[in-house]
Amino acid sequence: MSTLPIGPETDATPRPLPARTTIRGAHAVLEPLHVRHAPDLWRAAQGADDSWTYMGYGPFPSQEAMTKFVAEFAATHDPMVWAVRPVATGVVAGWLALMDIQPKNAAIELGNIWFGPPMQRTRAATEAMFLLLKLAADDLGYRRLVWKCNALNAPSRRAADRLGFIYEGRHRAHMVVKGRVRETDWYSIVDGEWPACRDALAAWLAPANFGPDGTARRGLAEIRAAG
């Protein structure tokens, strides 16, 4: 038997693939992306060209171009994409995905997140991400949840920190996106960390955490610190 150090034993059972089904929360409904969502998404994208800066696609020059992209994007299995319909408005205003799905490694990424201005910095946005993380970790049993972003994308880095992801490092000169070099920051939540992140997110989303004007009484970082 080798005397060299090796990692701990683990359950090596491959995890299930996510199913293309609707997921309902208190503030957001996630619907498998479909071309029928394109008109709402086109309206949500108006005047929001900056929101596409760090995406690998967009902005789209016309509704027809966006509709074609949505139809193709909806047909992929990895990434598997959901449209987000905030309960407060009933109108689809963004999408997000589970991607780089590795059942044998029990690793999965939350990514391809695009929220139009009507959804940004809302409870629906936070809950949408929480619903997919919870699906991956609690329902499907993935032990490694991944977040990656352009190293220049400060809002995405802040979102990763806020959700409880741990910074792992930077892949230098990692990709070429829209003709430009992209360096990529990597983050993760692993199985031992997930319960505290899940509980903090649930506590932040709880009705008791919000005042009559809709302002959160405690931030996620404060809730985690008090944990």
Q: Is pLDDT at 122 greater than 90 in this prediction?
A: yes
**pLDDT at site 86:** 98
Identity of the residue numbered 155: P
Tell me the pLDDT band of 227, cut-offs 50, 70 and 90.
Answer: confident
**pLDDT at site 161:** 97
Give the total residue count for the chain.
Answer: 227
What would the pLDDT profile of 43-66 be if each residue is shown by its tens digit? 999 999 999 999 999 999 999 999
**Where does residue 215 rank: exposed (0-12), middle (13-18), buried (19+ CB within 10 A)?**
exposed
Rounded to whole angstroms, the Cα distance separating 34 from 144 reads 28
User: For 23-226, which CATH class?
Assistant: alpha beta
Tell me the pLDDT band of 154, cut-offs 50, 70 and 90.
Answer: very high
Average pLDDT over residues 80-98: 98
Q: Count CB atoms within 10 A of the CB of residue 177.
A: 14
Which has the closest alpha carbon to 174: 153, 150, 156, 194?
A: 150
Rounded to whole angstroms, the Cα distance separating 136 from 144 reads 9
Average pLDDT over residues 13-28: 98
CB 33 within 8 A of CB 87: no
Tell me the pLDDT band of 124, cut-offs 50, 70 and 90.
Answer: very high
Average pLDDT over residues 127-138: 98
β-strand 144-150 against 80-86: which pairing, if any?
Answer: unpaired
Q: Is 30 helix (H, G, I), strand (E, B) or coil?
A: strand
Average pLDDT over residues 78-97: 98
Q: Count CB atoms within 10 A of the CB of residue 140.
A: 18
Tell me the pLDDT band of 167, cut-offs 50, 70 and 90.
Answer: very high
β-strand 144-150 against 107-115: which pairing, if any?
Answer: parallel
**pLDDT at site 179:** 97
**pLDDT at site 2:** 80
Which has the closest alpha carbon to 175: 153, 159, 191, 155?
A: 153
Tell me the pLDDT band of 204, cut-offs 50, 70 and 90.
Answer: very high
Which has the closest alpha carbon to 46: 61, 68, 28, 31?
A: 61
pTM above 0.85, yes or no: yes
Rounded to whole angstroms, the Cα distance separating 204 from 221 reads 10
CB 140 within 8 A of CB 18: yes
Question: How far lies 92's CA from each of 18, 55, 77, in Å?
Answer: 21, 19, 21
Tell me the pLDDT band of 127, cut-offs 50, 70 and 90.
Answer: very high
Question: Taking the mean position of all CA atoms in its chain, how far away is CA 21?
Answer: 16
**pLDDT at site 72:** 98
Rounded to whole angstroms, the Cα distance separating 132 from 127 reads 9
**pLDDT at site 83:** 98
